[in-house]
Amino acid sequence: MMLVKHDSCDASIEGHLVAHTESYAGIELSALIGVYEWEREALRPLIFDIHLTAPVSFNISRSELAAQMTVWLQPCRYRLLEALAEHLAQHMLREWPCRRVVIGIEKPGALGDLARVGVRIARNKD
């Protein structure tokens, strides 16, 4: 899988609103997650795609992002990927100068080789 980080700038037509988006694809981290008890006996690999939009240039390295996400993931014992994604999005919106967060999470091997299981959420700062 190709790992990508890019910075883009989105401006409104009138030039009044400028937003900087940082994207990080294919971040692999582990967490305790699953509906069934046997899934919750060991850490499971998860693959994250993160898009952070801020009103100013917001530079966080891939390794800094992964390290902070690891800290946020450690106490988690969620059953659903949706709950885990919401947990991470709220941390990012609260602790970083983001106004929009998009998080995609995939759980490799959740259904064997038959399908890919994952979620994608978008949250905006109020």
* Tens digit of each residue's pLDDT (9 = 90 or more) over 85-123: 999 999 999 999 999 999 999 998 766 666 678 999 999
Rg of the chain over all Cα atoms, to the nearest angstrom = 16
**Is residue 35 scored above 70 in pLDDT?**
yes
**Is residue 68 scored above 90 in pLDDT?**
yes
The pTM of the full predicted model, rounded to 2 decimals, is 0.81
DSSP code of residue 76: -
DSSP code of residue 78: -
- Closest listed residue to residue 65, CA positions, set 19, 27, 20, 8: 27
Residue type, 103: I
What pLDDT is attached to residue 11?
41
Domains annotated for the chain, with CATH where assigned, are 5-124 (3.30.1130.10)
Residue 61: CB atoms within 10 Å: 11
